[in-house]
Amino acid sequence: MSFDLEAPGFREYLVGRFGLEAREATLEPLVGKASGIKEGGYGIPYRVRWQAAGGPRTLVLETVRPGEFGHEDRSDRAGLLLRAFDESGSLPGHVVPVDVGALRTRGPAVSLGDSSEFFILTEFAEGEPYAADFDRIAAAGRLDALDAARARALADYLAGIHRAPASHPSWYRRRLRDLVGSGECIAGVADSYPVPTGFIDAALLREVETLALGWRYRLRERADRLRTIHGDFHPWNILFRSGTDFTVLDRSRGALGDPADDVASLGVNFLFFALRTRGDFSGPFAELFRLFWDRYRERSADEELDAVVAPHFAFRALVVANPLWYPRESEELRRKLFRFLISVLEADRFEIGRIPQYLERTRP
Neighbours of 159 (CB within 10 A): 20
Domains of the chain (ranges; CATH) run 10-123 (3.30.200), 128-359 (3.90.1200.10)
pLDDT beneath 70, residues of the chain: 1-8, 32-42, 68-70, 104-116
**pLDDT for residue 333:** 97
pLDDT tens column, 43-59? 778 899 999 888 899 99
**pLDDT for residue 3:** 57
C-alpha distances in Å from residue 233, one per residue of 9, 78, 287: 34, 22, 19
Is residue 251 a contact partner of residue 94, using CB atoms and an 8 Å limit? yes
Buried b (16+ CB within 10 A) or exposed e, 222-252: ebebbbbbbbbbbbbbbbbeeeeebbbbbbb
Which residues are CB-neighbours of 114 under 8 A, at least 6 positions away? Answer: 104, 105, 106, 107
**pLDDT for residue 54:** 83
Helix axes 310-320, 202-219, angle to 10 degrees: 150
**pLDDT for residue 169:** 85
- Closest among 256, 262, 259, 251 to 82, alpha carbons compared: 251
**pLDDT for residue 1:** 47
Which residues are CB-neighbours of 5 under 8 A, at least 6 positions away? Answer: 11, 25, 26, 27
pLDDT tens column, 279-335? 999 999 999 999 999 999 999 999 999 999 999 999 999 999 999 889 999 999 999
**pLDDT for residue 111:** 45
Residue 101, SS3 per DSSP: strand
Residue count of the chain: 364
**pLDDT for residue 212:** 98
* Cis bond before residue 165 (omega within 30° of 0): no
Residue 115, SS3 per DSSP: strand
Alpha-carbon span 231 to 238, nearest angstrom: 12
